[in-house]
Structure 1
């Protein structure tokens, strides 16, 4: 029953780059926990991600949400002090949502480790507005591209 309750309150997932851990299925984590849903930074895989032209693909479960995408440099990030999406975004609709052509806002060396933090705050069916958090660990690369077909948006989203 507890797993069903947790899934019923599903909020969002990071599809690309892969998130640290599935904070929807794993009962040890909570998307309400800052900064990364309670998932330690050494848990998941580290994805090679383009320094210029990267993408973040999400699956959103709420009818609308405010969205922020932040970046922190280092292997054990505690400060997500750079914005990859410089303006607050209001996304309407459920489903796949992708931001592409994201650029690191400062010069970094090829091979720099970093983490992407995605924050959503929005309206569930009952109108709540608590912040939710997930992270993905990356290695910034000059010689990689977003995989073909990875960045999709559902037509119902705006």
Structure 2
């Protein structure tokens, strides 16, 4: 498994990281080297023999210390799946997840959210396997996106101590979802050991200022996408989107 293979390859144990398992990953930045004293407290430093990341590469904005990838991943122009593994190393039983996008070959910013912020709760504060998957993440409205355009999806995991970990995947938009990697039960899985927490979701108190997002996670969604007795459940886009529509109709 990817989880066991990468953990065994790491010589330095660092706190809290996130891996994008779909649609792709810019590269392995689950490393740390050097020391905080040697880098004078900097998150990244140059020692003459190369760059060092005493606190870990994933602490570095915007994409965890890695440059734009030469090989991009296809992603549907109308949006698609995003799956991630949040439980690498210690300190991630609870975490806030942000999924953003930056447009262009080299995005100037990542200020466009693809999905409302949500909180997860894992089974332990120790490292744990398992993934979460959003099978249909829509592209933000107001952008004229065409097949062939390029962008970068940024996943941010904020730990309970306030540290933010960054991981990215560089994409090329395609018109047909068939031109992207297939989404199935092997790469879009919501493990039953990881819960979506409703407490982080804000519900407007008045109808006058109510703006419903295209999709938001609630405990009702958790009931839909998890099942008892089994390690994980593949989530179909139709089930999840239907649930979101029901939630939106109730709130709005």
TM-score range, shorter chain: 0.7 to 0.9
Q: Give the C-alpha shift of residue 68 in structure 1.
A: 0.5
Number of aligned residue pairs: give it: 149
Q: Larger relative CO (CA 8 A, sep 6+): 1 or 2? A: 1
- Answer whether contact 1:72 1:80 (CA < 8 A) is retained: yes
TM-score of the pair, normalised by structure 2:
0.55
In terms of fraction of residues, the more strand-rich structure is 1
Q: 1:53 to 1:109 in 2, by over 3 A?
A: closer
Query: Which of these residues, 153, 172, 176, is aligned with residue 139 of structure 1?
Result: 172
- Answer whether contact 2:99 2:117 (CA < 8 A) is retained: no
Secondary structure (helix, strand or coil) at the match of 1:71 reads: strand
Per-residue Cα deviation, 1:80-136 (whole angstroms, up to 9, x for no partner)? 121110x2200111520111211111331111110001111023xxxx220110110
Query: Which of these residues, 61, 64, 74, is aligned with residue 34 of structure 1?
Result: 61
- Give the equivalent residue in structure 1 for 2:19: 13
Secondary structure (helix, strand or coil) at the match of 1:31 reads: helix
Structure 1: gaps of 5 or more residues = none
Aligned-CA RMSD value: 1.9
1:59 aligned to 2:65?
no
- Answer whether contact 1:57 1:98 (CA < 8 A) is retained: yes
Take 1:136 and 1:44, find their aligned partners in 2: how far apart are those partners? 11
Q: Give the C-alpha shift of residue 4 in structure 1.
A: 2.6
Take 2:110 and 2:119, find their aligned partners in 1: how far apart are those partners? 20
Secondary structure (helix, strand or coil) at the match of 1:153 reads: strand
Q: Give the C-alpha shift of residue 12 in structure 1.
A: 1.2
Bigger radius of gyration: 2
TM-score of the pair, normalised by structure 1:
0.85
- Give the equivalent residue in structure 1 for 2:163: 130
After TM superposition, the runs of 4+ consecutive aligned structure 1 residues lying more than 6 A away are: none
